[in-house]
Structures are given as C-alpha cells and as structure tokens.
Amino acid sequence: MWRAVRLIHPAGAPGEVSDADLAELYAMTDRSRPRLRVNFVASLDGAAEVDGRSGGLSGAPDMRVFKVLRNLADAVLVGAGTVRAESYRGLSLGAARREWRRAAGLAEVPTLVVVSSALDIDTDVFADIPVRPIVVTHAASPADRQEKLAEVADVVLAGASTVDFAVALPALAAERGLRQVLCEGGPALFGSLQAAGLVDELCLTLAPIVAGPGASRISAGPPSPPTDFALVHALEDSGMLLLRYQR
C-alpha cells in the first residue's frame, strides 16, 4: 500500500504532502530568470533504465512529481533517442491542469522541444501535440529532413556541426519566452547540458530497486568537470526518495 508522501528534509510538518504542496516545493522563485531543470529516476545502484526504459524504475510517487514539474515548465526538452525509447505521445494536459497553468499566467501546455543531430524523427510522434513543437538541431544536419520536419515543427538551428546549447537555450528564452525549461532526458542530452555548464537544478528520484550491471547512468557522453549541487528538499514515499538539488 502506498503511504502519503512525507517531507523529510528540511524538517516539515507531518502528514500528507498534497499536489498543491508539491507545486510550492518545486516552484521557481523568479520565473523571469531562465532556468534549466533536469528530471531523472535512477535505481539504488545508479541505473537509469530497466530493459532499455526508465519506466521500469518509476512509480506513483515519481509520476506525481513528474506531473508537477511539467505543470511548472514553459518547455519540455528531450533528446530524440528518448522520444523513440519512451514512446512520447504528446503533452496533453487535463482540464484541471490547464486551468491551473492559466491561473498561474502560463500557457495551457508546455512546448515540446526535441534535440536531434541526425533528425531521425518520425513525424507521427508530433501528431497529438497541442502546441506546435520545436526541433533543435545544427546547420550540418540533413537538409531534406529539416524541410520535412518543418511541416510539423519549428526547426531551430544552433551550432555549425553539433548542437550548441549555449546558443539554443538563450534563444528559446529571448525569442519565444520559454525561460523555465524541464529536461526529461536522455543521458546523452543531460551529459551535454552539464558539460556546457547549463544545468541549474536536478530533480532525482531514487527507486528502491537494485537493477544490476549493464544499465546506463543518468548522464553520458564526454567527461566534464564535477559540479557541486545543494540539496533543497527530500521527500519519501514507500522507500522511494524524491530529491531536489540546485547548483
């Protein structure tokens, strides 16, 4: 049986943490400042997936936070590989969540932003998207695929032969008002963003599972310098830890 989510750090009042409490716990104090938040789930031994998908590590508490983080985001940033592996199908929100976002002064749904170098993206993945999505790529990506994707998405070029996130993210904020960006993976995208020094916050769920050897970590790619993060809060539900860290 699932217990109520408990706030265990910093010390808080006992009792159930409601969805409204979660929204307050994860809220950004200054939405005018661009901010990149990354959200991942991992096993106790550091695995980012089970059988190739992060869904094998998730659970009801994790999904509650997942929905709250999406509610608070202007844009959801995701790599093309994660779109394929996790079967992304739209960002539709229910009426109550849309109303909450309107009351908070946000667009009814966040904008989906997909990052891809090869542009190997099935356009059908955008069929159920309520807001025209954005594909971020670089100038050397296949021109014919740029043209095809432009029929269903806004194609943004950032960088000559690789995606330059130091160009892409400020452009999303300045030109489109997408300041609060939530990255949902995958590991290669997280690694690239961290290497560029752009990650402001990591929301990490630790699942009470030992996955065993072979699985990838939540960050991948070339080495980058270690970065210190501070724990903002920790929540617990049935052994699952929901952690919020800020750089």
pLDDT score at 238? 87
Domains of the chain listed by start with CATH number? 39-221+228-242 (3.40.430.10)
Mean pLDDT, rounded, for 218-238:
92
Residues 6+ apart with CB under 8 A from 63: none
* Average of per-residue pLDDT across 10-26: 79
Task: Determine what percent of the chain is predicted with pLDDT higher than 70.
Answer: 94
Please check the confidence at residue 77 and state whether its pLDDT lies above 90.
yes
pLDDT recorded at residue 107:
94
Say what the pLDDT of residue 56 is.
Answer: 79
Please provide the average confidence, as pLDDT, over all residues in the chain. 90
Per-residue b/e over 85-106, b at no fewer than 16 CB within 10 Å? bbebeebebeeebbebbeeeeb
Confidence bin at 126 (pLDDT 50/70/90)? confident
Mean pLDDT along residues 149-154: 95
Neighbours of 154 (CB within 10 A): 14
Higher pLDDT, 51 or 240: 240
Check residue 3 and give its pLDDT: 53
DSSP the chain: -PPPPEEEETT--SS---HHHHHHHH--S-TTS-EEEEEEEEETT--S-BTTBGGGT--HHHHHHHHHHHHH-SEEEEEHHHHHHTT-------HHHHHHHHHTT--SSPEEEEE-SS----GGGGTT-SS--EEEE-TTS-HHHHHHHTTTSEEEE-SSSS--HHHHHHHHHHHH---EEEE---HHHHHHHHHTT---EEEEEEES----TT---S--SS-------EEEEEEEETTEEEEEEE-
Q: Look at residue 15 in the predicted model and tell me its pLDDT.
A: 61
Whether residue 2 is predicted with pLDDT greater than 50 in this model: the reply is no
Residue 87: predicted pLDDT = 66
Is the pLDDT reported for residue 243 higher than 90? yes
What pLDDT score does 1 carry?
Answer: 35
Mean pLDDT of 164-171: 97
Q: Mind listing the pLDDT tens digit for each residue in 21-58? A: 899 999 988 999 999 999 999 999 999 888 767 777 88
Give every CB contact of residue 105 below 8 A, 6+ residues apart in sequence.
none
Q: 185 — alpha (psi -120 to 50), left (phi > 0) or beta?
A: left
Asked if residues 194 and 225 have their Cβ atoms less than 8 Å apart, the reply is no
User: How far apart are the C-alpha atoms of 16 and 61, rounded to whole Å?
Assistant: 12
User: pLDDT digits over 183-226, tens only?
Assistant: 998 899 999 999 999 999 999 999 999 988 877 899 998 888 89
Closest CA to 111 of 84, 130, 95, 96: 130
